[in-house]
Amino acid sequence: VDNKYAVVQQIQEQAKQQAPQQILLSSASRKLRIIPIGGVSDIGDRNMTVFEYGEDIVVIDCGIAFPPREMLGVDSLIPDVSYLEQRKGNIRGMIFTHGHEDHIGSVPYIWPKLVCPMYATPLTCGLIQHKLNEAGITDASLTAVQEGDRLHFGQISIEMVRLTHSIPDVLGLAIRCPAGLFFYATDWRLEHTPALGQPADWTRIAQLAGEGITALFSDSTNVDRAGYSPSERIIGEAFDRIFQETKGRIIIAQFSSQINRIQQVINSAKKFGRKIAISGRSMETYVTIAMQLGYLRVPDGMLVDIRKVNTLEPNRVAILSTGSQGEEFSSLTRISEGEHRHIKLDKSDTVVISASAIPGNEDAVNRLIDNLYREGANVIHSKLMTDIHVSGHPSRDELKLMFALTQPRYFIPIHGGYHNLIEHGKLAIEMGVEEQNVMIMENGRVAEFDNRGGKLTDERIPIEDVMIDGLGIGDVGPIVIRERQLLGNEGIVTTFLVVKQSNGELLASPDIISRGFIYMREAEDLMHKLREEVKTSYARAKEQHGINSDETRQAMRDALSQFLFQATGRNPLVIPVITTIA
Ligand SMILES: [Zn+2]
Ligand SMILES: [Zn+2]
């Protein structure tokens, strides 16, 4: 079992102790309930949407999110599935749109709680299966589906429709139930000439529109970008130019899930006679799985072990690396800091960062680029050369095309932050959707549809941030995070008092330990005064609240905090400890 999934065993144990699955009879009249569990609060959120009709539930996607920096020490955020756990017996299936982390990353944590059949395209299945293996989950049911397939889940049926995005094998979902036909297009873009696979099945989408689409769900990530995104093909041409002009080693950093782009690197390497070495665990994983399943076409003998990279002539090798976002410990970050075991940069090296910084990562990416320059490398990034990266999400004109083609009665923008959803909603109105038929969802909010129409209800199912931290799941909450922030910003001061149990008489001078607050050796005067304050505050607190009660310690904490604030202008976490001895 991979370390990052150590917590999964615990989840499995807990799930086993739960009551057996029961089918919950729906008391509500026949209506389709749509509930986003995640995906409508932030880009890169843990995407998950519930479709519930009577006793039938279908869950779409099960993503993971990487926490914002202020959630100190938290490894990842997973969807809050308490609503689904209570209705476990009603879940007919979980279906995945594509293999990106924000859509499949939580499967090892969530599947043991829900134990439902899972369906995805072959590449997505391969990526999910890899996670299940790493987590030691052997009893999951995972079935490969293809575009054009139709799955029946009680009263809900789902047809798979081919879309294009920055990873192959992406699905749009045509969801049918007695309340209507819903088209779910979470991550997609217009791409007439994909580097791998075929363009989206616009013919089928147009046919669905002919049937009458009740509501469209569409990708809001890039609603603030005008025009069309250029084709992924232009990157292949840019890679060719770089490979042609570069004499030394080439290191290309990109998202490891962008199989299409990896293929283009391989194509250029083949054309210009270079071998490829891979650096970074997730890149190895994606390349291995995509090769096994036949998505990547790599000429025999082209891949070389990263440990042998220095035995090759610099102009005969290119290195595919993770770390385009400046992630800590990632391959490119280690290279940029001179910490990589096999790659030391010099003036003859060219580093291509084939990605743009995801919001929130800008500082890390800037630091990364600075460090690469410091190591002397020639750096090509997307601000210097715009055609080494294109987005996998649709810009405004592409979004307009989707509206024009699908002609939905209702519109629900997804996959974006609040401002993206609002802008996408405005675009829908521009494109002919009636204003009252645009539904701006929030995670946990329930929308209801019947065959007459739909509305956003006032019902909200409770959704919390479920955080994974080491071996703990859900045990770190807002209070712990607040304490970590306080510790991180202001430090901690602990005072120790040893007193006589009978009368509270001090048996020794108070001890003080501080971390991250002040350098104690250079603050002897302050420490001396603090020790005195410990004594006097204890004497006062003891009078009022007794020798060692919660109230005594609270009163001391207040007094000491106030003293330290007056003396230093800082607010460390203060913990007074009182030990009584008989
Ligand atoms: Zn995606
Ligand atoms: Zn996504």
Determine the pLDDT at residue 142: 97
Q: Is the pLDDT of residue 120 over 90?
A: yes
Determine the pLDDT at residue 582: 84
Residue 240 CB contacts under 8 Å (≥ 6 apart), including other chains: 268, 271, 272
Cα(485) to centroid(ligand 2), Å: 29
Cα dihedral across residues 84, 85, 88, 90: positive or negative: negative
Determine the pLDDT at residue 32: 96
DSSP designation for 386: G
The alpha carbon torsion through 504, 505, 508, 510 (nearest 10 deg) reads 50
Cα(44) to centroid(ligand 2), Å: 6
Q: Sketch out the chain's domains with CATH numbers.
A: 14-227+391-470 (3.60.15.10), 233-386 (3.40.50.10710), 478-581 (3.10.20.580)
Mean pLDDT value of segment 482-508: 88
Which ligand places an atom closest to the C-alpha of 46?
2
| Per-residue CA distances from 157 to 53, 152, 182 (Å) | 11, 4, 11
Cα(74) to centroid(ligand 1), Å: 23
Strands of 303-304's sheet in order across: 303-304, 275-279, 317-321, 250-253, 350-353, 378-381
Please identify every residue whose CB atom is under 5 Å from ligand 1, which is an ion.
100, 187
Mean pLDDT value of segment 562-575: 91
Which token pair is 310? 């220095």
Determine the pLDDT at residue 27: 55
pLDDT band at 335 (very low <50, low <70, confident <90, very high): very high
Residue 123 CB contacts under 8 Å (≥ 6 apart), including other chains: 99, 167, 168, 169, 259, 289, 290, 293, 295
Q: Is the pLDDT of residue 43 over 70?
A: no
Determine the pLDDT at residue 23: 67
Cα(63) to centroid(ligand 2), Å: 8
**pLDDT 10s digits, 237-266:** 999 999 999 999 999 999 999 999 999 999
Determine the pLDDT at residue 13: 84
Cα(106) to centroid(ligand 1), Å: 14
Which ligand places an atom closest to the C-alpha of 258?
1
Cα(104) to centroid(ligand 2), Å: 10
Cα(474) to centroid(ligand 1), Å: 26
The mean predicted confidence, pLDDT, of the chain is 92
**pLDDT 10s digits, 154-181:** 999 999 999 999 999 999 999 999 999 9
Q: Is the pLDDT of residue 82 over 80?
A: yes
Mean pLDDT value of segment 432-437: 98
C-alpha neighbours within 13 Å on the C-beta side of residue 11: 26
- Higher pLDDT: 9 or 425? It is 425
Q: Is the pLDDT of residue 28 over 60?
A: no
Mean pLDDT value of segment 465-476: 78
**pLDDT 10s digits, 386-396:** 888 999 999 99
pLDDT band at 29 (very low <50, low <70, confident <90, very high): low
pLDDT band at 214 (very low <50, low <70, confident <90, very high): very high
CA distance 560 to 555: 9
**pLDDT 10s digits, 268-310:** 999 999 999 999 999 999 999 999 999 999 999 999 999 999 9
Is the ipTM above a cut-off of 0.95?
yes
Which ligand places an atom closest to the C-alpha of 48?
2
Determine the pLDDT at residue 468: 82
Q: Which residues are known catalytic residues?
A: 219, 393
Please identify every residue whose CB atom is under 5 Å from ligand 2, which is an ion.
102, 187
Determine the pLDDT at residue 519: 76
Cα(187) to centroid(ligand 1), Å: 5
For 371-392, b/e burial (b = at least 16 CB within 10 A) is bbeebebbbbbbeeeeebbbbb
Which ligand places an atom closest to the C-alpha of 165?
1
Which ligand places an atom closest to the C-alpha of 163?
1
Which token pair is 22? 């029961």
Determine the pLDDT at residue 21: 65
**pLDDT 10s digits, 407-418:** 999 999 999 999
